[in-house]
Structure 1
């Protein structure tokens, strides 16, 4: 990792020390990712859509279209859709309103450097149930054609989400300079580009409204499920009814819908993740939560609208097995960890005690690899792509990208644990040598 420049003028203090090392190759890497993520959101659409004429179209055709498009002012204007933008803003406002209005418990997060604990309102799952109920009722009353507008206005919605990501990242960056803010240890380098990207303030809030955890779970994650429903409706219109929708589309809708529902149902678990406990809220998380998740993760459902795949019962059963094996590993591994953190050990798992007085699991799923939950996540990601068949590699972008993301996250976790546990971490790695995939990696 490179080190930040010491030329920054802003003073550091004991509570908010200066960041001493960069991730993502520093400001150049942060700038590249900040530009690259929105570019990829659009690129995955224009290289795999009906308008593209293939998934992907022949490379010379794709290159020629790209060159002519980006030099054409009318093409840039076509990325904007006023109606889609207003609908997106209404959607975001709805998510805020349901957070405020729907009942929910308040729970405490982990202790902060200030000695206090932040409180979070838990009602994401009830928001999801209400939203899906309203959408289902609307479709039942008006037919599937009434809910195809997300497919039809895809680019406009994607542009609105990217703009919202930029505006939120700018707001929290500027607000982080107010007196009394608790900054993220990794986002206080003094470099504008890097801190804007990585997130300067740890927990930006407006009153009791926590911006980071809200964006992590609600607007993008629930929108992802709604996008899948819109893709289902588009295919139903084209094929003459929901009873004629392909088995591949139903599988994608089932897998991704259950994944979203599970994440929202287990909302309290997010407050022990690195995103909440360690990372600040900047453009990295805002664009990831609001644009990347809903508009990239739904690629398989969008592909199946115009490339309709019939799998048959045998292939469907095999893909179901892959997905639910991944889900079982993911959920059971997280269950072992959460039980152990809360002082319970119903499986009598082995562990060793560090010099810090904390305990590290060395058996069960956590004896097979240091991140068995990541392994389960990868199996589920593969199962989301398998229903699209093997005619194109683009629908496997998500599982490929996700493998890289989890490998990077594992490296970050290991670096943090090495600083935390010292020599005990070396002992732990000798007991649990595999990082994510048992006996492989």
Structure 2
């Protein structure tokens, strides 16, 4: 049965004018299920050996793809024969030693950005948003100071000032890509270890398996904070997408210095990354309502990918364009129109789908006043939404974009990722890494999410799947 209760009988109206609410009521059965979900019962990602393989393989892959892009015309290079394996590996290592060493400059720039973003997160005013009840905290809700948008504006002004005064030229970012990537990787491993040890030493660890490598990978702590800054949310928004955006801007500056203009392709990436970064800031108050915040632990899986993986593997098209003549990836006017139109359409669906889901959760908490930031797109809030009331006490949205697919945001997000690679056409296959990797991650994440929902909601989840039949693309899958 699909229920339409929002704003009417059955909705717990407990919000005041500031938008704050009290805890959502969770049933006794729901609490029992939550206790089971907060226990380690099985291994993911192939267990200890699997996560060791992932932690070893991905840094190597990131170096390899960057070397192919920057030094080998975007081709996937490999040993020509068995006898060439050793010389080939030495050549790869030579590129890393010379052009990706974690030098003092890279430490200064990367650490400076981390410190600056943490400082802004601590001091700037923001929109106070209450998160979802956290089972491991006895259903306590945490408050989040959502000031990412203010931090973004300050960062943009600061970067422009540093660039035009010559104190820090933005072209230096793309020129020092390899060095910065190495420092980012060290940060990823180091912060993961630091948060793991802190959780163990303070006895705040949760869902531990007892295997060091697996727990280091999955994480030990759930809600790490420095002052009023939630590190998990800060790491998800402030570091990766700021770097990705400024990599694109750096590529544009480099093109302008070389050719006197910025290609439509590079402008596309500046727009695409700028939209994504701004969306993270303007909709930051929606993040506390996500599974990442109230359930996912902060371990290597999340930390390394936010600090190093996302910023240095999602924008390979920028790396290629910054190191190659524009004639290698020039399109027709019609192609540019299609590319830009598709990007904006996918962005609209992604942005509004995320807003619909998060604000529906806020409505269920009794929050009726929503933050207004630029740009507020039409359709961000579903009026009189339909939903399935679960025995757990939660509600499953069946309106808006969520009436057609269980993960409409994933479909739109992946479409944007594909365009980030397609903007260089067939010049190189490497910029498509983001979309290929992303679809694997999304399918795996959906499997984890759907399995958890099935255990959490039982027959109510089966009813939901009958109403919303398609996992991703309506009528296809």
Using structure 2 for the length normalisation, give the TM-score: 0.81
Are 1:193 and 2:217 matched, yes or no? Answer: no
Q: Distance in 2 between matches of 1:394 and 1:428?
A: 39
Q: What residue in structure 2 maps to residue 158 of structure 1?
A: 181
The aligned counterpart of 2:54 is 33
Deviations 1:264-291 (A, max 9, x none): 2211111122222111111111110010
After TM superposition, the structure 1 = structure 2 runs for residues 50-69 of structure 1, keeping only pairs within 5 Å, are 51-52=71-72, 54-60=73-79, 67-68=86-87
CA RMSD of aligned residues (A): 2.5
1:250 aligns with one of 253, 267, 276? 267
Describe the shift of the 1:65–1:248 C-alpha distance in structure 2 as closer, same or farther (beyond 3 A): farther
Stretch deviating more after TM superposition (251-260 or 362-371): 362-371
- CA offsets, 1:17-47, max 9 Å, x none? 6511111111111111111221222122012
- Count of residues in Structure 1 that have an aligned counterpart in Structure 2: 419
Aligned position for 1:22 = 43
Unaligned 5+ residue runs, structure 1? 1-13
With 73-82 and 318-327 compared, the bigger mean Cα shift is at: 73-82
Q: Which residue of 1 aligns with 2:446?
A: 410
TM-superposed CA distance for 1:245, in Å, is: 1.5
**In 2, distance between residues paired with 1:89 and 1:66?**
36
1:409/1:152 Cα in 2 relative to 1: closer, same or farther (>3 Å)?
Answer: same
Q: Deviations over 1:35-93 (max 9, x none)?
A: 122122212201211x22x2115544699887436447755533322221222112211
- Which deviations, in whole Å up to 9, do the C-alpha atoms of 1:362-408 show, x marking residues without a partner? 34321211111111111211222222112322111111111111111
Greater alpha carbon shift after TM alignment, 105-114 vs 336-345: 336-345
Q: Would you say 1:82 and 2:82 are equivalent positions?
A: no
Alpha-carbon distance in structure 2 between the residues aligned to 1:267 and 1:62:
51
Q: Structure 1's 174 and 63: CA in aligned 2 closer, same or farther, altered over 3 A?
A: farther
Superposed, which structure 2 residues align to 1:41-440 within 5 Å? 41-49=62-70, 51-52=71-72, 54-60=73-79, 67-68=86-87, 70-71=89-90, 77-78=97-98, 79-80=100-101, 81-112=103-134, 113-115=136-138, 116-142=140-166, 146-181=169-204, 183-185=205-207, 188-239=208-259, 241=260, 244-307=261-324, 308=326, 309-341=329-361, 342-343=363-364, 346-440=382-476
1:184 Cα offset (Å): 3.8
8 A Cα contact 1:69 1:75, kept in partner: no
- 8 Å CA contact 1:166–1:287 kept in 2: the answer is yes
Provide Cα deviations, 1:302-352, integer angstroms capped at 9, x if missing partner: 111233233243111101111111112112222332343214774444333
Distance 2:40 2:74 in 1: 43
- Determine the C-alpha separation between the residues in 1 that align with 2:227 and 2:293: 18
Structure 2 unpaired stretches of 5+: 1-34, 369-380
Distance in 2, matches of 1:281 and 1:311, equals 42
CA distance in structure 2 between the aligned counterparts of 1:348 and 1:118, rounded to whole angstroms: 27
Asked if the contact 1:184–1:279 (Cα under 8 Å) also holds between the matched residues in 2, the reply is no
For residues 291 and 395 of structure 1, what CA distance do their matches in structure 2 show? 17
> Is the CA contact (8 Å cut-off) linking 2:124 and 2:151 kept in structure 1?
yes
Partner Cα separation in structure 2 for residue 17 and residue 275 of structure 1: 14
Q: Distance in 1 between matches of 2:190 and 2:156?
A: 28
Q: Which has the higher contact order (CA 8 A, sep 6+)?
A: 2
What secondary structure is seen at the aligned counterpart in 2 of 1:328? Answer: helix
Contact 1:375 1:437 survives alignment (8 Å)? yes
**Secondary structure at the residue paired with 2:388?**
strand
